[in-house]
Protein backbone atom coordinates (compact mmCIF):
# COMPACT_ATOMS: atom_id res chain seq x y z
CA UNK A 1 0.00 0.00 0.00
CA UNK A 2 1.44 3.44 -0.95
CA UNK A 3 1.84 6.20 1.61
CA UNK A 4 -0.97 8.27 0.06
CA UNK A 5 -3.41 5.38 0.35
CA UNK A 6 -2.29 4.78 3.92
CA UNK A 7 -3.09 8.28 5.12
CA UNK A 8 -6.36 8.40 3.20
CA UNK A 9 -7.46 5.17 4.87
CA UNK A 10 -6.52 6.54 8.27
CA UNK A 11 -8.49 9.72 7.62
CA UNK A 12 -11.61 7.60 7.43
CA UNK A 13 -10.88 6.29 10.89
CA UNK A 14 -12.52 8.81 13.21
CA UNK A 15 -10.49 7.51 16.14
CA UNK A 16 -7.31 8.53 14.30
CA UNK A 17 -8.57 12.06 13.78
CA UNK A 18 -9.83 12.42 17.34
CA UNK A 19 -6.45 11.32 18.66
CA UNK A 20 -4.65 14.15 16.86
CA UNK A 21 -7.22 16.91 16.88
CA UNK A 22 -9.67 16.79 19.79
CA UNK A 23 -7.39 17.92 22.62
CA UNK A 24 -4.86 20.12 20.88
CA UNK A 25 -6.73 22.14 18.24
CA UNK A 26 -8.79 24.19 20.69
CA UNK A 27 -5.74 25.13 22.75
CA UNK A 28 -3.86 26.17 19.61
CA UNK A 29 -6.74 28.38 18.50
CA UNK A 30 -6.95 30.00 21.94
CA UNK A 31 -3.21 30.66 21.94
CA UNK A 32 -3.26 32.23 18.48
CA UNK A 33 -6.35 34.32 19.19
CA UNK A 34 -5.11 35.62 22.54
CA UNK A 35 -1.54 36.35 21.42
CA UNK A 36 -0.02 39.53 20.06
CA UNK A 37 -1.48 38.92 16.56
CA UNK A 38 -4.65 40.98 17.04
CA UNK A 39 -7.68 40.58 14.80
CA UNK A 40 -7.15 43.91 13.07
CA UNK A 41 -3.63 42.89 11.96
CA UNK A 42 -4.57 39.47 10.62
CA UNK A 43 -3.46 38.89 7.02
CA UNK A 44 -6.38 38.81 4.61
CA UNK A 45 -5.40 35.51 3.01
CA UNK A 46 -2.93 32.80 3.97
CA UNK A 47 -2.38 29.76 1.76
CA UNK A 48 -0.64 26.83 3.41
CA UNK A 49 1.08 24.34 1.13
CA UNK A 50 1.72 20.76 2.22
CA UNK A 51 2.88 17.63 0.48
CA UNK A 52 5.27 14.75 0.56
CA UNK A 53 8.90 15.10 -0.45
CA UNK A 54 9.41 16.33 -4.05
CA UNK A 55 5.66 16.54 -4.66
CA UNK A 56 5.90 20.11 -5.98
CA UNK A 57 5.31 22.30 -2.92
CA UNK A 58 8.03 24.75 -3.90
CA UNK A 59 6.59 24.95 -7.44
CA UNK A 60 3.20 26.00 -6.07
CA UNK A 61 4.79 28.56 -3.77
CA UNK A 62 6.96 29.98 -6.56
CA UNK A 63 3.95 30.29 -8.88
CA UNK A 64 1.88 32.07 -6.25
CA UNK A 65 4.69 34.52 -5.58
CA UNK A 66 5.32 35.24 -9.28
CA UNK A 67 1.77 35.20 -10.64
CA UNK A 68 -0.16 36.52 -7.64
CA UNK A 69 2.37 38.67 -5.79
CA UNK A 70 2.15 36.50 -2.68
CA UNK A 71 4.71 36.77 0.09
CA UNK A 72 6.47 33.46 0.55
CA UNK A 73 7.31 32.24 4.03
CA UNK A 74 8.26 28.96 5.65
CA UNK A 75 7.61 27.71 9.15
CA UNK A 76 11.35 27.29 9.30
CA UNK A 77 11.53 31.11 9.22
CA UNK A 78 10.33 31.09 12.84
CA UNK A 79 13.26 28.87 13.78
CA UNK A 80 15.71 31.12 11.97
CA UNK A 81 14.28 34.17 13.72
CA UNK A 82 14.67 32.44 17.09
CA UNK A 83 18.29 31.51 16.35
CA UNK A 84 19.00 35.11 15.31
CA UNK A 85 17.47 36.39 18.54
CA UNK A 86 19.75 34.04 20.49
CA UNK A 87 22.82 34.93 18.39
CA UNK A 88 23.23 31.29 17.35
CA UNK A 89 24.67 30.47 13.93
CA UNK A 90 22.20 28.74 11.62
CA UNK A 91 22.73 25.06 10.90
CA UNK A 92 20.49 22.08 10.28
CA UNK A 93 21.22 20.74 13.75
CA UNK A 94 20.61 24.10 15.42
CA UNK A 95 17.27 24.43 13.62
CA UNK A 96 16.23 20.95 14.73
CA UNK A 97 17.21 21.51 18.36
CA UNK A 98 15.52 24.89 18.71
CA UNK A 99 12.39 23.53 17.00
CA UNK A 100 12.16 20.63 19.43
CA UNK A 101 12.66 22.99 22.35
CA UNK A 102 9.97 25.40 21.14
CA UNK A 103 7.44 22.61 20.61
CA UNK A 104 8.09 21.13 24.05
CA UNK A 105 7.75 24.47 25.79
CA UNK A 106 4.98 26.14 23.76
CA UNK A 107 3.04 23.40 21.97
CA UNK A 108 3.09 21.82 18.53
CA UNK A 109 1.54 24.85 16.81
CA UNK A 110 4.18 27.31 17.98
CA UNK A 111 6.01 27.63 14.63
CA UNK A 112 2.83 28.69 12.85
CA UNK A 113 2.02 31.20 15.58
CA UNK A 114 5.52 32.66 15.34
CA UNK A 115 5.32 32.97 11.55
CA UNK A 116 1.96 34.75 11.85
CA UNK A 117 3.71 37.33 14.02
CA UNK A 118 6.16 37.98 11.16
CA UNK A 119 3.33 38.90 8.75
CA UNK A 120 3.45 42.68 8.93
CA UNK A 121 1.10 43.66 6.08
CA UNK A 122 -2.57 42.80 6.67
CA UNK A 123 -3.43 43.44 3.02
CA UNK A 124 -0.95 41.01 1.49
CA UNK A 125 -1.44 37.39 0.52
CA UNK A 126 0.98 34.99 2.20
CA UNK A 127 1.94 31.49 1.10
CA UNK A 128 3.44 29.19 3.74
CA UNK A 129 5.29 25.92 3.29
CA UNK A 130 6.94 23.38 5.64
CA UNK A 131 3.61 22.65 7.38
CA UNK A 132 4.07 19.29 9.08
CA UNK A 133 1.71 19.14 12.06
CA UNK A 134 -2.11 19.57 12.33
CA UNK A 135 -1.67 22.00 15.22
CA UNK A 136 0.17 24.28 12.80
CA UNK A 137 -2.86 24.14 10.51
CA UNK A 138 -5.15 25.04 13.42
CA UNK A 139 -2.97 28.02 14.36
CA UNK A 140 -2.91 29.33 10.79
CA UNK A 141 -6.68 29.00 10.46
CA UNK A 142 -7.12 30.96 13.69
CA UNK A 143 -4.57 33.64 12.77
CA UNK A 144 -5.74 34.66 9.29
CA UNK A 145 -8.96 36.23 8.08
CA UNK A 146 -9.03 33.51 5.42
CA UNK A 147 -6.93 30.37 5.29
CA UNK A 148 -6.80 27.46 2.85
CA UNK A 149 -4.60 24.39 3.10
CA UNK A 150 -3.35 23.22 -0.29
CA UNK A 151 -2.14 19.64 -0.73
CA UNK A 152 0.19 18.82 -3.61
CA UNK A 153 0.05 15.16 -4.62
CA UNK A 154 2.28 13.12 -6.87
CA UNK A 155 3.02 9.46 -7.53
CA UNK A 156 5.78 8.02 -5.34
CA UNK A 157 7.93 6.83 -8.25
CA UNK A 158 7.74 10.23 -9.94
CA UNK A 159 8.68 12.00 -6.72
CA UNK A 160 11.63 9.66 -6.21
CA UNK A 161 13.01 10.40 -9.68
CA UNK A 162 12.57 14.14 -9.10
CA UNK A 163 14.45 13.81 -5.84
CA UNK A 164 17.34 12.06 -7.53
CA UNK A 165 17.41 14.59 -10.36
CA UNK A 166 17.54 17.69 -8.19
CA UNK A 167 20.75 16.44 -6.58
CA UNK A 168 20.49 17.97 -3.15
CA UNK A 169 22.85 16.71 -0.46
CA UNK A 170 21.55 13.43 0.93
CA UNK A 171 18.89 13.02 -1.77
CA UNK A 172 20.45 11.18 -4.67
CA UNK A 173 22.01 8.27 -2.79
CA UNK A 174 18.88 6.78 -1.28
CA UNK A 175 17.19 3.77 -2.83
CA UNK A 176 13.45 3.80 -3.50
CA UNK A 177 12.85 1.61 -0.43
CA UNK A 178 14.98 3.91 1.74
CA UNK A 179 13.04 6.86 0.36
CA UNK A 180 9.73 5.23 1.33
CA UNK A 181 11.03 4.28 4.79
CA UNK A 182 12.20 7.83 5.48
CA UNK A 183 8.80 9.21 4.48
CA UNK A 184 6.98 6.76 6.72
CA UNK A 185 8.75 8.27 9.73
CA UNK A 186 7.28 11.70 8.89
CA UNK A 187 3.66 10.58 8.76
CA UNK A 188 2.33 9.85 12.26
CA UNK A 189 4.25 11.92 14.83
CA UNK A 190 5.56 9.10 16.95
CA UNK A 191 4.14 7.87 20.23
CA UNK A 192 3.68 11.31 21.81
CA UNK A 193 2.47 13.11 18.65
CA UNK A 194 5.24 15.72 18.86
CA UNK A 195 7.02 14.74 15.65
CA UNK A 196 6.08 15.42 12.06
CA UNK A 197 2.52 14.35 11.21
CA UNK A 198 2.22 14.82 7.47
CA UNK A 199 -0.51 12.21 7.17
CA UNK A 200 -2.82 14.15 9.48
CA UNK A 201 -1.90 17.47 7.80
CA UNK A 202 -2.71 16.20 4.30
CA UNK A 203 -6.02 14.84 5.57
CA UNK A 204 -7.03 18.41 6.48
CA UNK A 205 -6.45 19.88 3.00
CA UNK A 206 -9.11 22.19 1.58
CA UNK A 207 -7.99 21.62 -2.01
CA UNK A 208 -5.70 19.09 -3.72
CA UNK A 209 -3.60 19.43 -6.86
CA UNK A 210 -2.08 16.53 -8.78
CA UNK A 211 1.43 17.25 -9.96
CA UNK A 212 2.33 14.26 -12.08
CA UNK A 213 2.91 16.19 -15.33
CA UNK A 214 4.39 19.70 -15.72
CA UNK A 215 4.84 22.83 -13.63
CA UNK A 216 2.85 24.74 -16.25
CA UNK A 217 -0.15 22.44 -15.78
CA UNK A 218 0.16 22.75 -12.02
CA UNK A 219 0.23 26.55 -12.22
CA UNK A 220 -2.87 26.60 -14.43
CA UNK A 221 -4.74 24.41 -11.97
CA UNK A 222 -3.82 26.74 -9.10
CA UNK A 223 -4.92 29.79 -11.13
CA UNK A 224 -8.25 28.18 -11.98
CA UNK A 225 -8.93 27.35 -8.34
CA UNK A 226 -8.15 30.90 -7.22
CA UNK A 227 -10.40 32.30 -9.95
CA UNK A 228 -13.31 30.07 -8.92
CA UNK A 229 -12.72 30.83 -5.24
CA UNK A 230 -12.93 34.57 -5.85
CA UNK A 231 -16.03 34.49 -8.07
pLDDT in tens, 210-227: 999 999 999 999 999 999
The pair phi, psi for residue 144, each rounded to 5°, is -120, 150
Question: What is the radius of gyration, based on Cα positions, of the chain?
Answer: 17
pTM of the model: 0.75
- Residue range 153-180: average pLDDT? 80
**What confidence score (pLDDT) does residue 17 get?**
41
* DSSP symbol at 70: P
Residue with the larger pLDDT of the pair 21 and 177: 177
pLDDT in tens, 48-59: 999 998 899 999
What is the distance between the alpha carbons of residues 133 and 191, in angstroms, rounded to a whole number? 14
Q: In this structure, are residues 100 and 44 in contact, taking their beta carbons and an 8 Å threshold? A: no
Cβ-based neighbours of 57, under 8 Å, separated by 6 or more? 49, 50, 51, 129, 152
pLDDT in tens, 131-142: 989 999 999 999
Amino acid sequence: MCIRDRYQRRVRDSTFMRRFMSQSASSVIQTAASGSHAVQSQPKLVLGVAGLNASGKSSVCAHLKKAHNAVGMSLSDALRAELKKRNVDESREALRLVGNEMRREHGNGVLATKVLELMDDPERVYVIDSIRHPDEVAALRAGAREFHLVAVECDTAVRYERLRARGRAGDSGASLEEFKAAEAKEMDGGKDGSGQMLGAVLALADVRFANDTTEEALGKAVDQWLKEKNE
